[in-house]
Amino acid sequence: MKNKIKQMVKNTAFVLAVFAVLSLMSSYILLKSHFVGSSIDIVFHWSRIYEIRDSILNGNGLFSRVALNKFNESGSAVMTMYPYINLLPVIILSLFVKSFVHLVYITFILRNFLSLIVAYFACYSFNKNKWISFIFSISYVLSTMTLFYSFILMDIGVSSSLIFIPMVLFGTYRLINANKWLELTIGISAVIFCHVITSVMISMLVIVILVINWRSLVKRKTLISLLKCFSMTIILTGFFWIPFIFLYLHNQISMPNVWWKLSGTDINTFMSFVFNNSVVLTLNIMSVRYITTIAFVGIIVGIIFYNHMERPDKQIFWIAIASLFLTSSLFPWNELNNTFVRSTFQFSWRIFIVTQVLLCYIFAVSVIKLCKNKRQIFGVTCLVTLTVMCMQVSGQREVVDHFYQNRYNIIHIIRDDQGLYTDYFPKNSLKIADDISQHKVGISKRKKISVKLLDNGKFKFKLSKKAKSIKMPFIMYKGIDYQIKVNGHKAKFYSDDHSQLTINNVNKGKNTVRVIVHKSWYDYLSYVLSSLGIVILLYSLIKEYSFKQNIRRSK
């Protein structure tokens, strides 16, 4: 037993060392270029990072419910309506890494390293084959899809959710086959804390797998494990969904503006993109994404090896094919343009995330099982690793060339003239969005003056005479506990018909207004619920680990 443990530790250490090298190589060309390109969501997501960072440095704590520093200090509840737990590692790094460029790439390297580890061990817990797990992890993580979401869209929410999708996939089968619920619980909770739309999509994948294996669910132990998973996920993620639902029910929230139409994938464009293994394809000013070449090869080798596949692998293969159908023009996406699907799901090509992870696994299973001996397995693994890295490095060069004329630095992100994100604003406040973005204080219907933003919810302006009421460039939400101070003293205030902060009787001369946001009862409820979930989860992990150790000792 001691020899087996030593060998396992050595093997794990070697795999981690290889992952570390591959993670460094995954950012080599990008880091060498020493710039970050201008992408679609870079300002939005990095403003969230620096909002929380400034909140911590200003002594307001980690859990900022509204924007008091970035997003024009508009009071936007984007911090409540959009998950941000996944940003915490980046925020911690930002306290030590001063260079924005270095921060971006160090984050990307660490993201890939963690993702490789999660993908490898999640896959290994399912099939107990280290070769399959290794090929799956590198083909899934070190792909142009990762580059697309990390640098073309700069969507930190989706990019970080991709890390935990393998835990959800293989955790679902572990629940069905072995009544193990911890892996699925951790995976789906982590995805929820990263990106809402992706979590809904991945939850649908879990439901499909459970429905296909419905006969296994009628077993008492399996049902109990499923109930534990569902209950623990609700408890763990209470930190996000409790404030989210409370604000959503008490305010008419404006969702992101979707001006494009939903449509399926054109087969000619799809095939051209796949065989070129491109990072990005721009159609009608929109960046779109398809599966990678490796994933497509997974279909071919999957067909060849299909008769030798085990039942779960066959299920994964057919779910992947079904997901391809859903993204195609054969599916009537145009009929959904007048529904909530268009405003919430936004892009049909989001489904390729699911297709990618499924087909990368089918690729790994097929190429390894088609090998006849260990020498062939080793040779194929080396060949696949070299191929994946060549394609990844090529993708890095494509990203650099794509953004060569659009260099970015931190000044572009934290400055206040980047425009105003009205996503998640109260709908009745959209009419005063211009005043907020221009930092205008309304003295009367006709007169407006400029206000200086001081961060930490502070505004400074000068009045030529006393004003009976002023309207600040700050929106307010029902259900949030505000306190307003004018020149250090508590002031009476209210929210007008446009959810705009209005203050009465402001004196002549220089004035400083500060907005303070207090914790509400639902905030504390969410903290208690999630903390309870963490305690229960840790206890369950320790209990399961101790159980395994006792079994090993008895053997």
In a domain, 420, yes or no: no
CA gap 162, 164 in Å, rounded: 6
- Res 459 pLDDT > 90: yes
pLDDT tens across 360-398, in order? 999 999 999 889 888 999 999 999 999 999 999 999 988
In a domain, 188, yes or no: yes
Residues 226 and 102 in one domain: yes
- Res 551 pLDDT > 70: no
**Radius of gyration of the chain, Cα coordinates, nearest whole angstrom:** 26
In a domain, 366, yes or no: yes
Mean pLDDT of the region 38-50: 81
- Res 552 pLDDT > 60: no
Q: Among the ranges 28-42, 43-57, 159-173, 495-509, which has the highest mean pLDDT value?
A: 159-173
Of all residues in the chain, the percent with pLDDT exceeding 70 is: 91
In a domain, 132, yes or no: yes
Domain range holding 496? 427-518
- The mean pLDDT value of the chain amounts to 88
- Res 269 pLDDT > 60: yes
Residues 442 and 535 in one domain: no
Residues 474 and 338 in one domain: no
Higher pLDDT, 416 or 297: 297
What number of CA atoms fall less than 13 Å from residue 159's CA on the CB side? 27
Q: Is the dihedral of CA 423, 426, 428, 432 positive or negative?
A: negative
Mean pLDDT of the region 5-27: 84
Residues 211 and 287 in one domain: yes
Alpha-carbon distances of 383 from 135, 275, 368, 467, rounded to whole Å: 10, 19, 12, 74
Mean pLDDT of the region 62-78: 87
CA gap 380, 374 in Å, rounded: 10
CA gap 7, 140 in Å, rounded: 27
Amino acid type, 537: L
Q: Given its phi and psi angles, is residue 346 left (phi above 0), alpha (psi -120 to 50 degrees) or beta?
A: left
Query: Max Cα separation, the chain?
Result: 88
| Rounded (10°) CA dihedral 296, 297, 299, 304 | 170
Residues 452 and 362 in one domain: no
Residues 403 and 438 in one domain: no
- Residue 351 pLDDT: 92
In a domain, 138, yes or no: yes
Residues 263 and 390 in one domain: yes
In a domain, 329, yes or no: yes
Residues 510 and 378 in one domain: no
- Res 8 pLDDT > 70: no
Residues 441 and 541 in one domain: no
- What are the beta bridge partners of residue 512? 460
Mean pLDDT of the region 294-313: 93
- Residue 409 pLDDT: 57
Mean pLDDT of the region 86-110: 90
Residues 494 and 538 in one domain: no
In a domain, 305, yes or no: yes
Residues 296 and 345 in one domain: yes
Question: Looking at the 3D structure of the chain, how many domains does it have?
Answer: 2
Could you tell me which of 128, 121, 227, 231 has the C-alpha nearest to residue 167?
Answer: 121
In a domain, 550, yes or no: no
pLDDT tens across 480-491, in order? 999 999 999 999
Which pair of structure tokens corresponds to residue 534?
A: 């963490």
Residues 289 and 434 in one domain: no
